[in-house]
Every structure is written in C-alpha cells, then in structure tokens.
Structure 1
Amino acid sequence: MRARLIYNPTSGHEIMPNNVGGILDILEQAGYEASAFRTTADQNSAKNEATRAAKAGFELIVAAGGDGTINEVVNGIAGLDKRPQLAIIPAGTTNDYARALKIPREDPIEAAKVVLNKTYLPMDIGKANDTYFMNIAAGGSMTELTYEVPSALKSVLGYLAYLVKGAEMLPRIKPTKMKIEYDDGEYDGEASMFFIAMTNSVGGMEQIVPDQQFSDGLFTLIVIKTSNLKEILHLIALALNGGRHVDNDKIIYSNTRKIKITPEDNEKLMINLDGEYGGDAPVVFTNLQQHIDIYANTDELKNSISKDVLIENEKVNNEEK
C-alpha cells in the first residue's frame, strides 16, 4: 500500500518541515510505502496533488497543515468515484477538524500515530454548489473576521488573533436580508450570520453545536436573527455556558440534509467554507453522507458517533487488525 503526505510548510509556526521524516517513518510502520509532497504558493497546489495521488492509486493521503490545507485536499478527492482514505496532521491556527476528531494537536508525530491504530470513520462531506467542505460553512457580517485577520497575526497569536479581531468587529455587525430554505421550514428575513456545522468544533469551541453526530447525513443549521450587540453577546454567553443558546428565540437551530441560501434586495453575501472564501450566494448545500473514510481517535468519540456506524467501524477495524 502507498501513502502520500501532502504538507503545507508555512502552516502555523512552520513546524512541518522538521517533522516530515518522522511522519514518514510512522506511515512505514503502519505498512505503507510513504512519500511526501511539499505544497507551493501555486493556487490549488494541495488540491491538485491530492487528485493526482488518488488517481495514481494511493490508498492513503495524509493532509498536514491548517483547516485550509485539509479543505484543499478534501476538494481534490471528494469528487472522485474512487477515494483514498484520509488522515490529518494538524499544523494550523485553530485546527477545528482535528479537534473534532480528537487528533493530537500539539505534536505532528503523535497525530501521525493515529494511523497506527487503523481506526477511521466514514465522515460526511458538505457540498456548496460545486465546492466541498468538511467542517463549517457560514455567511453574514459576523463571518467577515476570518477574512480580515492577517496571516502574520494568526501565526504569532494563533486563535487569540480571531478573538482580538472579533472584539474589534462586533460593533460593526449589521443584518443581511436572506432567504433560507431547509428540511423543516423556511426563513425569510434579516440575519447577522448563518452557519452550517458538520462537527461539534466551530472556531475552537465545542459548545456551539453540542448535539452534533458524525456520519448521520445531517448538517446543523444555526441562523442568528439579531444584529443587536447586547443580544449577540448574550447568545455567546449562553453558548459558552453549556450550549444553552439552542433554544433561544433569536436563533434558528435545526438539523437538515439540504439548505438553500438566497440573498435578497441585491445584497452581496459571501460564503465562507472551512475558514476560506468560497464564492457568493445563492448557494445550495448538500450533505454527502459517509463520503470519505477519515482516521480518528474513535475511543474518545463514542458520544459523537451514531451507534450503527460505531458498530460497523469497530467490525471493519477488528478485521483489518
């Protein structure tokens, strides 16, 4: 079997170049003939290499970098009929996806060792028109901070950079009129933000989507209907206090398989996919259930895995071992 490590040398504090050899050793221990690809500044560098490796028959792709790098790799393989398994080495700022899958986030070598356990999940993948995402999609004025935080500031301050910029932007939040269609209904009105979650880790916090289940084919849709600063701060406080925001009348909180977002009154609505700009609305979001097998620390995830998926996963893993 062959594994291809695709790593971003500039992610986070530029820790990956010094760890490539150790990661390749771990992959060899797991039974793979391992090789590495260093991404470049070229557009879609990671995505193009992931597509090439998948079509060349590599059984495993290891994506090493921040959520943006992982998103590129997912976009490189999600549209293929035959998709390799995926492992993740977090080396970015917030590393939301690795946090959700309980993958070690402080040491790339420890993260690579998850492959040795041969435990993976058939994870849902989101599709926004023709682009894929694996963790979150969002839109509205509250999402603009992800575009405004300079890369240099993220490298120095990490997640703190988002908090600093978020505090600066709160007074500038304004509503956008939009139409949101989802399985259980339709909302036509103003919102300061919507976001669509596929895991329970959003912006480094696990309380925003407290009941998220992996591999169930459902998005969690949250629409913040207010742009009042005091009300938004109250919602944030409720979210941090055990996820109590889910029943508040200032938001919509719903599980759904499909979502359509349409801006109204000629408003521009930029879409954020996994922390990066993903085009403008209108957009249709579709959940591709159990689309890619992704390595995870399943022993710590049993509360987030539906029972039937957990039983099947353990059966397959035991057979492989």
Structure 2
Amino acid sequence: MKKAVLIVNPSSGNEEAEKYESQAQKKLATFFDEVEVLRTEAEGDATKFARQAAKDKVDSVFAMGGDGTVNEAISGLAEQEYRPKFGFFPLGTVNDLARSLKISMEPQEAISSFNVDRKSSLDIGKINDDYFMNIVSVGSIPEAISNVDVEEKTKFGKLAYFISGVKEVFNDQTYHFSLEIDGETTEIESSAVVIVLTRTIGGFQHIVPEAEANDGNLYLLYLKDQSITDRLKSVPDIVKGVDQPTENIGYTPFTAGRLTVKEDAELHPSVDGDEGPELPLSFKVLPQHLEVYYGSEQ
C-alpha cells in the first residue's frame, strides 16, 4: 500500500492552512492509497513527524507551511537510512525553495497542479548538527532581517525583510571573520556573510544565477564593506546577480567549510529564516540527498 504523510502547520500563511488542508488531502488521495494528516502544535513537531514517517517507510512526506515548516520536515528526513520522497505546498512569506523548484506561490494552484511524476534530486546543507535547505546568513544585516516579527511578515510579506535590511545598511557595524573553505583559510571584514543552496534569496530570484537545487555545491557570498559607502556600492552587483567575485562582493562555490568570528560578539546566525546555532559554524553539502516533487517543468 502506497502511503503519504501530510504535515500541516495551522499557523502558517496568516493561518490559511485549514482552508487548504482538505484540498491537499483530496489531491494526494488521487495518487496514494492512504494520506495521513498530522498538524503541528509546537516547534519541532514537523521534524518529529517526518522522522517517524521515515522510520515507518512511507512512500512520501509532504509539508504545508512556510520555510520554517519545510526546514523542519527536511531536517526530520535528513540522514535517515530510508528517506521518503518529499513535497510541499508553500503558505509562508518568502518560500525560497518553492520558487527555485517552480512551485506556485498560490496554495490552491500549487495543490491543483501537483503531479507525482515530477520528481528531481535535492541537495541539503548541514550546519553543525542542524540542516538547511536554502540559506544561512551571519552579520548585522542578516540579524536585522531575521528579527522581523511575525506581525510585520504578515502585513508586508517579503517587503518586511527588505525594509529591515535597508535600515541596517546605515549601521557601521562589521565583523572580522575567519573562513575555511574547502581547506583554504581567508580572513575577511564584512557586515554580512551568506551561504546559499539555491539561486533565490529572501524571495528575490536569480541573486545567485548559477546555483541549482541539485548541483552539489554551497555558495558563499559576503559584502566587502568597511563603510556605509562600500555597502551601497554592492547593491547594483546584488541586483544584477552574482556569479563571480567583484570589487564589492566575495563569491565562492564550495562543498565544505567553517566560519568563526574574531570579536567577542553575540551573533545569531539565521538558518532558513529562523535563529540557528552559535558560532563557530561548520558547513557541508549533502548532494542529491532527497528526491523532491517540483512544480512546473524544470
């Protein structure tokens, strides 16, 4: 018997999950003999549900929610001996992975257009003992963005992140980092260090145009900013998209690395939009680690 588990976060997408849950269950029932719906009530529930589904060797696990819910579900599947196929219906604010996989931002369309035949491999990032599916960011600008509260996200969507980031541009704070990338160590001063898996960051597509969801690489970007003027100079490069180092932005594809900060600073890295582990950070890519359902034709 072919079984799917649908993990639903009732609070995602301005609490729209209940509206779309039955639609998703009915759609999945056209492809699977059994569809079990599990609703999260607390942080970590999606991870627990996905891990149990892997142990039960169900065929597929689906998540309905924002980036945090998707991250939790993927974390539950990561490095299990048996990993079910994974799919999701986005309800949150940014949904970077959904954009990269060409899944509709409209929940009803994402559900109605789902097809079990559209599958591809997906890289996962590992950070210390945790996992990420899109982005890890460290520094004053990323910290300001990660501190955007739920009310602002609901009211302004991805514009809330942009507003918060712009405010922080005029803060002079930078940090001295030590980066070990694929065995080579570099010392940098920056207000923002970002490691990504996909081309979309904060809902803005094609910032890292050469990144693919299953190319086996992580991508490092950092601002070469020692002043507000330097920071402003980097904006055109970011808007254009970064595929090589520039005068204003550092850029390196890599597979494994380590990041430490030299100051006695209380930095809180953002991992897929939520607060992550404390520095120092170790990174590696788990290439083609999951089989994932995507949206329109790739």
TM-score, length-normalised on structure 2? 0.94
Query: Is the Cα–Cα contact under 8 Å of residues 200 and 207 in structure 1 kept in the other structure?
Result: yes
**Could you tell which deviates more after superposition, 265-274 or 54-63?**
265-274
Query: Is the Cα–Cα contact under 8 Å of residues 7 and 65 in structure 1 kept in the other structure?
Result: yes
Query: Is the Cα–Cα contact under 8 Å of residues 100 and 213 in structure 2 kept in the other structure?
Result: no
Amino acid at match of 1:155: T
User: How many Å separate the matches in 2 of 1:48 and 1:244?
Assistant: 37
Name the structure 1 match of 2:219. Answer: 220
Query: Is the Cα–Cα contact under 8 Å of residues 177 and 267 in structure 1 kept in the other structure?
Result: no
Name the structure 2 match of 1:144. Answer: 143
Q: After TM superposition, what 4+ stretches of structure 1 lie above 4 angstroms from structure 2?
A: none
3-state DSSP of counterpart to 1:217: coil
User: How many Å separate the matches in 1 of 2:260 and 2:242?
Assistant: 28
Q: 1:51 to 1:245 in 2, by over 3 A?
A: closer
Q: Percent identity, please.
A: 32
User: How many Å separate the matches in 2 of 1:185 and 1:298?
Assistant: 39
User: How many Å separate the matches in 1 of 2:233 and 2:224?
Assistant: 13
User: How many Å separate the matches in 2 of 1:78 and 1:115?
Assistant: 23
Q: Deviations over 1:238-263 (max 9, x none)?
A: 221x3268441222111101111011
Name the structure 2 match of 1:259. Answer: 257
Name the structure 2 match of 1:59. Answer: 59
Query: Is the Cα–Cα contact under 8 Å of residues 239 and 245 in structure 1 kept in the other structure?
Result: no
Q: Deviations over 1:116-137 (max 9, x none)?
A: 2411111110000110101111
User: How many Å separate the matches in 2 of 1:105 and 1:138?
Assistant: 24
Q: Deviations over 1:226-246 (max 9, x none)?
A: 142232222122221x32684
Q: 1:173 to 1:76 in 2, by over 3 A?
A: farther
Query: Is the Cα–Cα contact under 8 Å of residues 51 and 76 in structure 2 kept in the other structure?
Result: yes
Name the structure 1 match of 2:82. Answer: 82
Name the structure 1 match of 2:195. Answer: 196
Q: Deviations over 1:257-299 (max 9, x none)?
A: 1111011133333222111111111111010001111111362
Which of 275, 284, 307 does residue 273 from structure 2 map onto? 275
Name the structure 2 match of 1:100. Answer: 100
Query: Is the Cα–Cα contact under 8 Å of residues 136 and 272 in structure 2 kept in the other structure?
Result: yes
User: How many Å separate the matches in 1 of 2:118 and 2:147?
Assistant: 37
Name the structure 1 match of 2:153. Answer: 154
Q: Deviations over 1:16-53 (max 9, x none)?
A: 1011111111101123411211110x231111111122
Q: 1:35 to 1:227 in 2, by over 3 A?
A: farther
Query: Is the Cα–Cα contact under 8 Å of residues 54 and 83 in structure 1 kept in the other structure?
Result: yes
Q: 1:52 to 1:209 in 2, by over 3 A?
A: same
Query: Is the Cα–Cα contact under 8 Å of residues 9 and 38 in structure 1 kept in the other structure?
Result: yes
Q: Which has more helix, going by share of residues?
A: 1
Structure 1 residue 97: Cα displacement: 0.9
User: How many Å separate the matches in 1 of 2:287 and 2:93?
Assistant: 27
Q: 1:131 to 1:244 in 2, by over 3 A?
A: closer
Name the structure 2 match of 1:122. Answer: 121
Q: RMSD of aligned C-alpha atoms?
A: 1.7
Structure 2 stretches lacking a partner, 5+ long: none
Structure 1 residue 216: Cα displacement: 1.9
Name the structure 1 match of 2:164. Answer: 165
Amino acid at match of 2:168: M
TM-score, length-normalised on structure 1? 0.87
Query: Is the Cα–Cα contact under 8 Å of residues 178 and 191 in structure 1 kept in the other structure?
Result: yes
Structure 1 stretches lacking a partner, 5+ long: 302-321
Count of residue pairs brought into register by the alignment: 297
**Could you tell which deviates more after superposition, 80-89 or 50-59?**
50-59
The reply to whether residue 29 of structure 1 matches residue 30 of structure 2 is yes
Name the structure 1 match of 2:229. Answer: 230
The reply to whether residue 249 of structure 1 matches residue 247 of structure 2 is yes
Structure 1 residue 58: Cα displacement: 1.6
User: How many Å separate the matches in 2 of 1:212 and 1:19?
Assistant: 31
Query: Is the Cα–Cα contact under 8 Å of residues 153 and 161 in structure 1 kept in the other structure?
Result: yes
Query: Is the Cα–Cα contact under 8 Å of residues 26 and 116 in structure 1 kept in the other structure?
Result: no
Query: Is the Cα–Cα contact under 8 Å of residues 171 and 228 in structure 2 kept in the other structure?
Result: no
Amino acid at match of 1:250: N
User: How many Å separate the matches in 1 of 2:233 and 2:15?
Assistant: 37
User: How many Å separate the matches in 2 of 1:257 and 1:142?
Assistant: 25
Amino acid at match of 1:168: K
The reply to whether residue 50 of structure 1 matches residue 79 of structure 2 is no
**Could you tell which deviates more after superposition, 115-124 or 252-261?**
115-124
